[in-house]
């Protein structure tokens, strides 16, 4: 077994979409996105893989340097980084070596070592591999703060275009097994590769909406496709960053603002503008809403007002009517954004949106 060294940073790159390392001096260290910690030790147990996903630098047919860490090596290296204050969480995934179950067992062995031998009590994100047996999900849960399995694409017809080895129905059934065991002790996430399989935004967001509602996922991640040299998809265009940004914004609205996917992307693709503002400007019949009378659901659809501000407005309204924009400002509403879409105590302040008819 090889020693872990800095030059393995590139080989051990976590995913095939080209995540940026925090610092070349510290391989495996990535800024954590939405995981409640700042920097993660994020690594593949091995980049040997029996699968041949078309977008992946570690695919079976790839001619790349291969490595295969032992659970002990990884646990020791992580603890070195953790004690040095370089990272505050651990994220472990892997290529599939010998079999999904055999590899998953080694992933579990690694996180178990951290918890039992090194008494590490911090954040652990454990990846569940495609094709694993349900009892291994059960075994991973007690050591994990987060469990994830990547769906990669929003349906079998899309997935088959980028991976002949993964089966969408099987991935969903593993996700169901994870969700069935969900308590308050761990969260569940998944990830899509965006822009590699011909999917549109509506299909992605529709599935995300179902995953939040039916499986209790805490986050869906959108990884913009980035063509990697020497892969069969190397000639495909990369996914524009703006598309990923709009997907995250729309996903946020689906997750926390009761928007339906088809309200945000009715034509299939999200326009390259703020999705909430776009929806509001496309629905002049819904505005302006009177701040003193609007329901919670109406308030959170006003650009510049989110769930926290909407709850504050409703609380303050119990004491009496709001009469000045200053009161809204004090509640930290982004008042300039709201002006075209509200009346305050009967008065309309909007200027930009000419399609709205101010009340007399
Ligand atoms: S399963 Fe697919 S995406 Fe994952 S490492 Fe193997 S080839 Fe790459």
CATH number at 127 reads 3.40.50
Residue 293 lies in a domain: yes
Centroid of ligand 1 to alpha carbon of 63 (angstroms)? 14
- Domain range spanning residue 317? 286-348
pTM, to two decimals:
0.89
- Mutating to test ligand 1, I would choose from 58, 99, 196, 228 the residue with most ligand atoms within 8 A of its C-beta, which is 58
- Closest C-alpha among 128, 54, 52, 142 to residue 94: 128
Domain boundary pick from 117, 148, 179: 148
pLDDT in tens, 248-282: 999 999 999 999 999 999 999 999 999 999 999 99
Mean pLDDT, range 30-37, rounded to an integer: 81
Q: What is the dihedral of CA 231, 203, 152, 59, to 10 degrees?
A: -20
The pLDDT value given to residue 22: 45
The pLDDT value given to residue 13: 52
Tell whether the model's pLDDT for residue 1 goes beyond 60. no
- 100 ligand 1 Cβ < 6 A: no
Burial class from Cβ neighbours inside 10 Å (0-12, 13-18, 19+) for residue 223 reads: buried
Task: Determine which residue's CA is closest to atom 7 belonging to ligand 1.
Answer: 59
Residue 253 lies in a domain: no
Three-state SS at 92: strand
Centroid of ligand 1 to alpha carbon of 47 (angstroms)? 8
Separation of alpha carbons 193 and 154, rounded Å: 9
- Closest C-alpha among 284, 276, 278 to residue 259: 276
3 phi and psi angles, rounded to 5 deg? -75, 150
Centroid of ligand 1 to alpha carbon of 143 (angstroms)? 24
Domain boundary pick from 108, 123, 148: 148
Separation of alpha carbons 150 and 56, rounded Å: 13
Task: Determine which residue's CA is closest to atom 2 belonging to ligand 1.
Answer: 53
Tell whether the model's pLDDT for residue 174 goes beyond 70. yes
Number of H helices, E strands in the chain: 13, 10
Domain boundary pick from 113, 148, 183: 148
Residue 355 lies in a domain: no
The pLDDT value given to residue 17: 38
Higher pLDDT, 120 or 19: 120
Cβ-defined contacts of 292-301 (< 8 Å, 24+): 292/317, 292/321, 292/322, 292/344, 292/345, 297/258, 300/257, 300/258, 301/257, 301/259, 301/276
Residue 232 lies in a domain: no
Longest alpha-carbon distance in the chain: 78
pLDDT in tens, 108-139: 999 999 999 999 999 999 999 999 999 999 99
Instruction: Label residue 21 by pLDDT band (50, 70, 90).
Output: very low
Residue 88 lies in a domain: yes
Residue 118 lies in a domain: yes
Centroid of ligand 1 to alpha carbon of 128 (angstroms)? 12
- Closest C-alpha among 73, 60, 114, 117 to residue 90: 114
The pLDDT value given to residue 19: 40
Tell whether the model's pLDDT for residue 51 goes beyond 50. yes
Residue 298 lies in a domain: yes
Instruction: Label residue 30 by pLDDT band (50, 70, 90).
Output: confident
CATH classification of the domain holding 337: 1.10.150.320
Q: Are 191 and 83 in contact (CB under 8 A)?
A: no
Centroid of ligand 1 to alpha carbon of 55 (angstroms)? 9
- Mutating to test ligand 1, I would choose from 53, 92, 152, 233 the residue with most ligand atoms within 8 A of its C-beta, which is 53
339 phi and psi angles, rounded to 5 deg? -55, -35
Query: What's the structural domain count of the chain?
Result: 2
Higher pLDDT, 183 or 4: 183
Residue 173 lies in a domain: no
């Amino acid at each position: 077994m090889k020693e872990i060294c800095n030059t393995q940073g590139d080989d051990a790159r976590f995913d095939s979409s080209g995540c940026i390392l925090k610092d070349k001096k510290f391989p495996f260290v990535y800024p954590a996105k939405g995981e409640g910690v700042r920097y993660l030790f994020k690594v593949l147990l091995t980049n040997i893989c029996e699968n041949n996903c078309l977008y992946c630098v570690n695919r079976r047919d790839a001619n790349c340097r291969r490595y295969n860490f032992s659970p002990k090596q990884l646990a020791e290296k992580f603890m070195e980084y953790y004690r040095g204050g370089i990272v505050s969480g651990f994220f472990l995934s892997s290529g599939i070596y010998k079999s999904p179950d055999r590899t998953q067992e080694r992933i579990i062995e690694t996180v178990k070592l951290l918890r039992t031998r090194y008494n590490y009590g911090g954040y652990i994100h454990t990846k569940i591999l495609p094709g694993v047996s349900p009892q291994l999900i059960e075994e991973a849960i007690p050591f994990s703060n987060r469990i994830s399995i990547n769906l990669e694409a929003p349906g079998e017809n899309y997935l088959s275009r980028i991976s002949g080895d993964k089966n969408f129905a099987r991935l969903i059934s593993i996700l169901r097994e994870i969700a069935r065991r969900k308590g308050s002790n761990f969260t569940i996430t998944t990830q899509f590769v965006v822009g590699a399989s011909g999917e549109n935004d509506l299909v992605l967001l529709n599935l995300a909406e179902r995953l939040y509602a039916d499986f209790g996922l805490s986050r869906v991640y959108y990884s913009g496709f980035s063509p990697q040299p020497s892969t069969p998809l190397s000639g495909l265009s990369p996914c524009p960053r703006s598309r990923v940004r709009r997907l995250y914004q729309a996903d946020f609205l689906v997750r926390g603002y009761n928007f339906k996917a088809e309200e945000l992307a009715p034509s299939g693709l999200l326009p390259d503008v703020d999705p909430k503002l776009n929806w509001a400007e496309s629905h002049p019949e819904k505005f302006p809403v009177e701040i003193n009378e609007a329901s919670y659901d109406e308030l959170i659809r006003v650009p510049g007002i989110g769930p926290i501000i909407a709850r504050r407005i409703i609380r303050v309204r119990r004491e009496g009517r709001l009469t000045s924009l200053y009161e809204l400002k004090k509640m930290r509403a982004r008042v300039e954004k709201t002006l075209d879409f509200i009346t305050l105590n009967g008065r309309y302040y909007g200027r930009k949106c000419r399609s709205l008819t101010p009340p007399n």
